[in-house]
Chains A and B, each alone.
Chain A
């Protein structure tokens, strides 16, 4: 196991290094005048000159890359043109909102996707299976931004059940302010025994989380179904059945456990999907997270911010993959011995 971990860590480090080359190329090599981009549209010639020196743009690309790496590693990711604050600080301060959204969506998608997938496999080619397949294919075909808008119309405008957008009601900071501890409002509200805020934050979370969960639900259900069907077809399951073990025991204890291993990969994949998926959901629901920041940066050509977000997202993805691989190796000896 140790060898596997070391090998996998080394691999991830290499990928990160490669990623930094790509973001460096996008940030410094492709634009014709990166310094002007870094200052923004109102760049004065003397400013451009200053930034050119500061970023080392007058030097050879390999030297530039080394400076770029040094800056990234020491936490100097540049200053956002839009907010005039350090990019890394912006990313870190907005991360909890996005994490809360992704966590809520995953909490919905993983159990629901697995249950649907198992049902589908158990009733293969019968009505429940057909229904689940339709649900899951609809889930992966729905544009998240459009689904979000529809949910707003139905649950806010027509039914008046749930709030339209934002993380909490505007008046909450007067009636029951949340003490920031983790930045995750649900957790903070719970830690502060702030029931009113907890309810308010949960209500705001429902629609965005549901929107973000649609795609993962479909994907996880499909993967679980395929994996479950394959597992149920194996000899040890047939043997178990021949011994007369109860169907429930065979399905849930013997088959499901093994069938879930490939599902883990898909869960990792959907986590990564959710990172960019949350961008669109955040825009629709005015969610003050990383996605809103990312999209505003892209529209305003806030170059340092865009490149920071790209590198951050890629690094997060590499990390997620690493964790998934390690979890798989831990659960399944075949993976780590291969």
Chain B
């Protein structure tokens, strides 16, 4: 049941991505201010939006895990954060390329949008070390969920702080007035956001399927191994040697 849905999701996201890229290069007009470099916008901004939404969604899943105690929500939260970090790497790299082309620098430290995204990204980079530092699976899932909720609350706060910052140079894309993009650019941008979002969902499902299959194969392995009581007792254990007291030197 799951495989056809995953394959159809993959095909749809590939088709939507191809449509988005075609619109970006052949339909959307070249920006009068930045020129051809502005085409990076159609991949950089959708990735940033989907990554930040992914972090918030992971927080919501973590709340569901803590409320229901269902470990599947913790797994979903983990996979969503993992993929959002992957997209975050893409946002930072494509942002650096765009900054170099537009501003002449790979990174600008006094730009609030860049630095705030880096802070959010670094915050989530601590999620996996924190998670795998805890051995007990129950505690691991609980602590990871608490982290995901607190960090998810930090994402919109960070976004608001950037919006309220006075001195900014980063272009405003989604304002209260709907931005100042011409209609072809807006349509292309929305298709690209939809394509990246669908790709995100597809990859999430792929990773969840892989994790589910791995867990099943581990369970099968464990079921095949004979239980400790059923194992034949070694001869040495059946007739234990008398304990020899250690001689103090």
Task: Please determine whether chains A and B interact with each other in the same assembly.
Answer: no
Interface residues of B (CB under 8 A from A): none
Interface residues of A (CB under 8 A from B): none
